[in-house]
Structure 1
Amino acid sequence: MTARTAADPSVLALDFDGVICDALEECALVSWLGMHPHDTSVPGPDQLAAVPEEFVTRFRRVRDYSRLLDHFVVAHLPQASAIVSQADFDRLFASLDPATVRTFTQAATAARDHFRTEEADFWLELHTIYPGMDALLRRFNGSAVVVTAKDADSVRAILARHGLGDTVAEVFGETGAKAEAVQDVSARWGVPVERITFIDDNLTNAVRVAATGARSRWAQWGYQTPEHRAEAERLALTPLHLDEVAALVPAAPAAA
């Protein structure tokens, strides 16, 4: 058995896409349909096959810099192919009309809802659990929360598909306010924030949560860039590799 230490967390707070689950194809598909008509008479696999490879390539680049579903709209801009920094991405996103972003997000969410409810098997097959993350959630059963830009219903459905539905106590869905979510858990659960370990593959999220006093770990198996790796090293932000997940164990219960 792995020995527990003073650094062992009482609560685990995790991002979803890029940490627990790999869903790049699903995100690319709903993002495409965020700006193109969704003919619901066409089955999901055919919809996915019709997404242009050029768009998927741009989406892969955009995904590395995104924190919210709203941000995926940038993949529709031809200029996205030239993004080489977070500043480039932020500039492109800021150049968009907020009404355009809202329309995109509503349409992408509607497409996701359709696939999740009307073509559930297809939709669920687009989500795979990263190796070791199922065992991690089971170790922290009841002491884990998910804090994600994805909607809570989708997260719950995917976890249930993989037999993990009861492992997560709460899902903070459709949120970019991850530091606030961690502080909320600390206050309501009565757990000191330094006893919460937060894991996210997005550097901005990891840095913001670190400022709360939580132990923030930057996941190395999700979406990131060389620029982010250099910035994380400068900030001395602790990376977490997938093969290190097995060493994370919950803190021992307090003595009576």
Structure 2
Amino acid sequence: MHKKRLFLTDFDGVLCDSVMECLLVSYNAYHQLRNPGTERLLDLGAIPEAQQREFRRLRAYLKGAEDFIPMYLSMQQGQMIRSQKDFDAWHETLKPQLAEYTKAFYAERDFLIRHAKELWLRINLLFDDFARILRERPSFDALHILTTKRRDDVLETFNYQQIPFPAEQITYVKAAGKSQKLLEILREQEVDVEHSVYCEDQVDFLITSQQYGIGSYLVEWGYVSEEQRQLAIQHNIPIISTQQYAEILSAY
């Protein structure tokens, strides 16, 4: 039986730059938790630039939605986060509250989608020239998105960019199950792993995907720390540019 070649990719931090949307959602979720019913902020410009820069820097250590409010709390409480180990240790101290934080994060994202959808769409931008590249593709048969972002949110972003990406080729999974879900996709779709690729901005997932035999690439843009780059080098994981990503994508 002929196995299929597949281009698998993460969404946030690879195709989509959602960091400012996540900042706005996290800001509102934090303040709703502290003072329920407080007026929501809909102006990113009201958040100090230094805080915006710090949020973007810290974004490299996050793997899923449950991490955003802990990250915002670290900023508010002056926690020193300089490595993945630092963030993971801080995250662990908040474990009893994570379910509540995740629920609050999604509640505020949904509020934004319902009440300020145009704003929400505008601050979920695609990186580089990826919107045009995807719009011009004749087929999406060999593409699959594996993401910790809800499928409907991904589809809304694509629809806004007039990209007819098939819903069935977007797989949503929580961060803890992402590597296992990748393996399931490879097996269930009978993928030719030697001639397939997986692109990510989180090196931990790539260290595992390498073990599956699939070509694994760390993207150099998005939310990638120097620590992650060094880990990629240690594990012989290629680090690619947006141009190289587009070139690899064009072969599928």
Q: TM-score, normalised by structure 2?
A: 0.85
* Distance change >3 Å, CA 195–CA 169, structure 1 → 2: farther
Match of 1:59 in 2: 55
Aligned residue type for 2:6:
V
Distance, in Å, in 1 between the alignment partners of 2:8 and 2:37 is 37
Match of 2:88 in 1: 90
Residues 150-181 of structure 1 deviation map (CA, whole Å, 9 limit, x = unaligned): 11110010011111133564212242233222
Match of 2:17 in 1: 22
Check the 8 A contact 2:18/2:124 in 1, yes or no.
yes
1:1-256 paired onto structure 2 within 5 Å: 10-37=5-32, 42=40, 45-46=42-43, 48-53=44-49, 55-72=51-68, 73-78=70-75, 82-96=80-94, 98-134=95-131, 135=133, 138=137, 141-166=140-165, 169-176=168-175, 177-248=177-248, 249-251=250-252
Residues 11-52 of structure 1 deviation map (CA, whole Å, 9 limit, x = unaligned): 11111111001111101111122221275865x633x34445
Check the 8 A contact 1:145/1:171 in 2, yes or no.
yes
* Distance change >3 Å, CA 141–CA 173, structure 1 → 2: same
Identity %: 25
Aligned residue type for 1:71:
D
The RMSD of aligned alpha carbons is 2.4
* Distance change >3 Å, CA 105–CA 54, structure 1 → 2: farther
Number of positions where the alignment pairs a residue of Structure 1 with one of Structure 2: 240
* Distance change >3 Å, CA 219–CA 80, structure 1 → 2: farther
* Distance change >3 Å, CA 193–CA 93, structure 1 → 2: same
* Distance change >3 Å, CA 24–CA 133, structure 1 → 2: same
Aligned residue type for 1:186:
L
Unaligned runs of at least 5 residues, structure 2: none
* Distance change >3 Å, CA 30–CA 174, structure 1 → 2: farther
Q: TM-score, normalised by structure 1?
A: 0.83
Q: Which has the higher helix share?
A: 2
- Secondary structure (helix, strand or coil) at the match of 1:217 reads strand
Distance, in Å, in 1 between the alignment partners of 2:11 and 2:165 is 16
